[in-house]
């Protein structure tokens, strides 16, 4: 069964979704990418994340093809470049994304990372898009605790729906300050690269732990994230097999002994550090 995370506005969103970073870069892989996304949707992985940056809009086109005829079944997330996040720029960028996605609305529109445009301009643009029905929710990506505090004290900033960040077993620094800050205010995290772009799958310690559970390293890494009620994960899967492997993480339960073993292999932070990005 697909578990859900509740956004600040009360909407339930699948905790496990589908990422699309590096999709849309090869015409030869397009059919398989579309097929994998459609297969995931059919299995309940309705949360799909993309960005105008990915393949210069190519990933959005792949998503648009994948959701054709089933738009209402999908919770669609895309992101705007920081340099496009001004009052006028965000509106224009959103329209371009809508065209590539072949839809009339985006469910969650994110600032991809912080740039030079002041937060108040971006929030104003997002709220104008929301009022026009172009987007349903807005959020941010790659913002650290200080950034989030500044956003929160910007007019309208407390309506941020999520912060999408690099978060996985090997990237736990945000647990020191950013995650507690967001958790206190009811802002869920969305973990991108939850498998460290597949590099975690080659970790021998993780492989040993997974083997003891008769699971795959990917399933353990995803289950570790998904055990938290306020964390979503968006692994990319370029094939049906990868989709099914990811989906199996939802039924994997990690007991205290396993969690302790994972902490020994991938220690939690013992102090503050800069937010990591890929």
Q: Can you say how many angstroms the Cα of residue 52 is from the centroid of all Cα atoms in its chain?
A: 14
Contact 48, 18 (CB under 8 A): yes
Q: Convert the pLDDT of each residue in 59-80 to its tens digit.
A: 999 999 999 999 999 999 999 9
* Separation CA 188–CA 225 (nearest Å): 12
Please tell me the pTM assigned to this model.
0.97
Residue 23 has pLDDT above 90, yes or no: yes
Would you give the DSSP letter of residue 64?
Answer: H
**For 81-93, what is the mean pLDDT?**
98
Structure tokens at 181: 């800050």
Residues 6+ apart with CB under 8 A from 218: 195, 200, 201, 235, 245, 246, 249
Residues 6+ apart with CB under 8 A from 243: 18, 36, 39, 40, 43, 45, 237
Alpha carbon distances (Å) from 221 to 34, 39, 183, 268: 25, 22, 21, 14
Residue 166 has pLDDT above 80, yes or no: yes
Can you give the residue ranges of every domain in the chain?
A: 4-8+11-265
**For 104-116, what is the mean pLDDT?**
98
* Separation CA 226–CA 177 (nearest Å): 19
Alpha carbon distances (Å) from 179 to 72, 118, 162: 31, 23, 11
Looking at 3.20.20.100, 3.40.50.620, 3.30.450.20, 3.40.50.2300, the CATH number of the domain 4-8+11-265 comes to 3.20.20.100
Q: Convert the pLDDT of each residue in 204-262 to its tens digit.
A: 999 999 999 999 999 999 999 999 999 999 999 889 999 999 999 999 999 999 999 99
Residue 1 has pLDDT above 80, yes or no: no
């Amino acid at each position: 069964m697909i578990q859900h995370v509740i956004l600040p506005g009360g909407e339930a969103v699948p905790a496990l979704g589908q990422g699309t970073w590096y999709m849309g870069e090869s015409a030869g892989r397009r059919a398989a990418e579309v097929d994998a996304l459609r297969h995931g949707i059919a299995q309940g992985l309705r949360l799909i994340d993309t960005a105008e940056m990915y393949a210069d809009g190519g990933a959005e086109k792949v998503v648009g093809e994948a959701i054709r005829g089933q738009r209402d079944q999908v919770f669609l997330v895309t992101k705007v470049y920081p340099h496009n996040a001004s009052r006028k720029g965000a509106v224009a960028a959103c329209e371009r994304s809508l065209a590539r996605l072949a839809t009339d609305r985006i469910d969650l529109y994110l600032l991809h990372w912080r740039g030079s445009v002041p937060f108040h301009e971006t929030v104003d643009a997002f709220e104008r898009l929301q009022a026009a029905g172009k987007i349903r929710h807005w959020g941010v990506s790659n913002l650290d605790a200080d950034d989030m505090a500044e956003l929160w004290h910007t007019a309208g900033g407390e309506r941020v729906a999520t912060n999408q960040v690099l978060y996985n077993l090997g990237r736990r620094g945000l647990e020191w300050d950013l995650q507690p800050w967001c958790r206190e205010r009811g802002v869920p995290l969305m973990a991108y690269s939850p498998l460290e772009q597949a590099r975690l799958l080659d970790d021998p310690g993780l492989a040993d732990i997974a083997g003891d559970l008769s699971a795959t390293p990917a399933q353990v890494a995803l289950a570790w994230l998904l055990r938290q009620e306020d964390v979503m994960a968006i692994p990319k899967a370029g094939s049906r097999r990868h989709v099914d492997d990811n989906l199996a993480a939802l039924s994997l339960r990690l007991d205290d002994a396993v969690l302790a073993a994972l902490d020994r292999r991938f220690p939690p932070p013992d102090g503050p550090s800069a937010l990591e990005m890929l």
